[in-house]
């Protein structure tokens, strides 16, 4: 079973076409996610499926909804069994996942409206200096690695640039620091806000002062 895009569209709106309670504020908890997904799939279908305990065996506790970036990360975990029991074949754990945009107000089924005049949307991060046109941009995908502080002077990122102390945590660096493939800062704390990526979707007019990403926005 997969949590697919159709499931997400129903999850983001009620069956009568209205917004889910809390969706306007961008806040929906895992309980609501579970209720909406199970309603879309149908509990009778789930109860007759290979999922252990049917609808009750489907957990969406790991689901995350980012209120400031209209991003849904729906994670469905469950245990499954074969339709016909096989000797020495035990139940196994599975995960279905959807990561993408929530419903943000435009429904292609409701007509084109003023789409031609709609402002272009881009992606930005809290501490980044560029805007991006693709969520798949490698500059948005973090690859954090640990290196010795003694080696940082000779280390280079993918673009060949040096690493400098992070303005937030670099001054507290010990013998070990953290760097990313495309970043130009080293960090003493893996949880530093300069490493974490909080991706926001904004109109391009709100990206004033940021440069176009050299990979996806040129």
pLDDT value at residue 22: 41
Residue 6: pLDDT band (50, 70, 90) is very low
Contact 47, 55 (CB under 8 A): yes
Chain mean pLDDT for the chain: 76
pLDDT at 122: 92
The continuous run of DSSP H or E covering 177 comes out as strand 176-180
Confidence of residue 177 (pLDDT cuts 50, 70, 90): very high
Kindly tell me if the per-residue pLDDT of 163 is higher than 90.
yes
- pLDDT band for position 3 (cuts 50, 70, 90): very low
Per-position DSSP letters for 138-159, written without gaps between them: TTTS--EEEEEGGGTTT---TT
What tens digit of pLDDT does each residue of 179-195 get? 988 788 999 988 887 77
Residues β-bridged to residue 65: 72
130 half-sphere exposure, CB direction, 13 A CA radius: 16
- 176-180/144-148 β-pairing: antiparallel
- pLDDT tier at 153, thresholds 50, 70, 90: very high
Triad 59, 60, 61: Cα angle to 5°:
95
Distance CA 2, CA 21 (A): 24
Other beta carbons within 10 Å of 197:
14
Query: What 3-state class would DSSP assign to 63?
Result: coil
pLDDT tens digit sequence for 16-68: 444 444 443 334 567 777 788 888 888 888 888 888 888 888 888 877 766 55
What pLDDT is attached to residue 107?
54
Name which of 59-63, 81-85, 145-149 the model is least confident about. 81-85
């Amino acid at each position: 079973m997969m949590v697919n895009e159709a499931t997400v569209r129903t999850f983001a709106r009620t069956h009568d076409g209205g917004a889910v309670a809390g969706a306007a504020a961008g806040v929906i908890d895992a309980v609501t996610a579970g209720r909406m997904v199970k309603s879309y799939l149908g509990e009778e279908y789930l109860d007759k499926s290979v999922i252990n305990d049917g609808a009750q065996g489907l957990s969406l506790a790991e689901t995350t909804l980012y209120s400031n970036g209209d991003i849904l990360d729906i994670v469905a975990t469950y245990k499954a069994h074969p339709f016909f029991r096989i000797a020495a074949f035990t139940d196994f754990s599975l995960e279905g996942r959807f990561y993408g945009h929530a419903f943000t107000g435009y429904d292609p089924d409701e007509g084109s409206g003023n789409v031609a005049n709609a402002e272009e949307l881009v992606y930005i991060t809290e501490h980044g200096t560029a805007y991006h046109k693709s969520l798949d941009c490698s500059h948005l995908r973090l690859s954090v690695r640990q290196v010795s502080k003694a080696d940082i002077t000779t280390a280079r990122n993918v673009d060949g640039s040096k690493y400098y102390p992070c303005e937030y945590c670099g001054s507290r660096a010990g013998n070990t620091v953290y760097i990313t493939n495309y970043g130009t800062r080293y960090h003493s704390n893996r949880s530093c806000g300069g490493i974490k990526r909080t991706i926001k979707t904004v109109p391009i007019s709100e990206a004033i002062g940021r440069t176009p990403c050299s990979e996806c926005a040129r």
